[in-house]
Amino acid sequence: MADPVQTTKPDLYKVTRIIKDGAIVADDWQFVPLASELAPEAHPIPAGRVIVPLPVWQSQRHVLAARGDVGVWLAPADDPQQLADSFGQIALIAVDFPKFTDGRGYSIASLLRSKLHWKGELRAIGDVLHDQLYYMQRVGFNAYALRSDRSAEVGLAALKDFEDIYQFSTDQALPVARRHFGANTAATRGSAT
């Protein structure tokens, strides 16, 4: 068996094409990292479409809110609740997966959709690989900044890994068991969001 090659990781946050709403599209949103040596209010924000860290958004909201081309990204430990009153002012929400094995982003996405009712773009960023896309889609992501060294086509296919599911999630797909429950189904689904 061939020894698997460990490629050096590309910059996780420099991605020029993403998967969004089931299609591969070019992307020019710039990621603004959280620099530990800078106070949030001191972060310089470039012109153009930017995705800024939550603390930066909170400290510079008064200026950024008017731009219309600002998205906010959440780190795994961030509380999505803190963004709830900003929904009208931000263009997208990104959830960072610094390492693909850190699963907190799935719960953040789930809360953004089912608790806070964010209806806009929800994007997975960071260590975004093929084999997690299906789950990401199910918890409510609709955009994926797939790592630049991964095939976008394989990523598209991975979104269709399963056609049957066992549990309700924010994607509103109908679980296996519910297909049997008949009349209850429609009623229960009505209260899904």
Partner 1 sequence: MYQYDEFDRRVVRSRAAQYRRQVARWQAGELADDEFRPLRLQNGLYIQRHAPMLRIAIPYGHLSSVQLRKLAYITRHYDRGVGHFTTRQNLQLNWVKIEETPDILDHLADVDMHAIQTSGNCVRNITTDAYAGVAPDEIVDPRPFCELVRQWSTLHPEFAYLPRKFKIAVSGATEDRALLRFHDVALELHRDANGEPLVRFIVGGGMGRTPILGETVRDDVPWRDMHTYLEAILRVYNRFGRRDNMYKARIKILVKSLGVAAFREQVEEEFSRIANGPNRLPEDALSWIQSRFVTPQYETLTNNPAVLSDALASNIPFARWHKRNVRGHKAVGYAAVTLSTKRAGFAPGDVTDAQMDAVADLADQYSLGELRITHDQNIVLAHVKQSDLPALHSALHALGFATPSIGLVSDMIACPGGDFCDLANARSIPIAAAVAERLEDLDEQEDIGPLRLNISGCMNSCGQHHAGHIGILGVDKQGQEWYQLSVGGSGGTQSSIGAVLGPSLRADQVPDAVEQIIEVYLEARASNERFLDTVRRIGAEPFKNKLYPNKGKSAADNKVAQNG
| Chain contacts with partner 1 (rule: CB under 8 A) | 1-7, 100-104, 106-108, 110-111, 114-115, 129-132, 134-139, 154, 161-169, 175-181, 184-185, 188-189, 191-192
**Is the CB of 90 or the CB of 139 nearer to partner 1?**
139
* Alpha carbons 77 and 75: distance in angstroms, whole number: 6
CB of 72 to partner 1, least distance (A): 18
Task: Identify which of residues 65 and 84 has a Cβ nearer to partner 1 in the complex.
Answer: 84
**CB of residue 22 to partner 1, shortest distance in Å:** 17
The closest alpha carbon to 117, from 69, 51, 168, 170, belongs to: 170
Minimum CB separation of residue 133 from partner 1 in Å reads 11
Provide the minimum distance between the beta carbon of 154 and partner 1 in the complex, in angstroms, as a whole number.
8
The burial class, CB within 10 Å (0-12 / 13-18 / 19+), for 158 is: buried
> 68 or 151, CB closer to partner 1?
151
Considering the complex, state which of residue 137 and residue 142 has its C-beta at the smaller distance from partner 1.
Answer: 137
Shortest distance (Å) from residue 89 CB to partner 1: 25
- Please name which of 183, 184, 187, 164 lies closest in space to residue 174, comparing C-alpha atoms: 164
**Amino acid letter, residue 165:** I
Amino acid sitting at position 5:
V
Q: Which residues contact 76 (CB under 8 A, 6 or more apart)?
A: 96, 97, 98, 102, 104, 105, 108
Burial class of residue 144 (count of CB atoms within 10 Å of its CB; 0-12, 13-18, 19+)? buried
State how far the alpha carbon of 58 is from the alpha carbons of 5, 80, 82, 161, in Å. 42, 12, 9, 38
Contact 102, 76 (CB under 8 A): yes
CB of 49 to partner 1, least distance (A): 28
Task: Please identify, using beta-carbon distances, which residue of 84 and 129 lies nearer to partner 1.
Answer: 129
Q: Which is nearer to partner 1, 63 or 154 (CB)?
A: 154
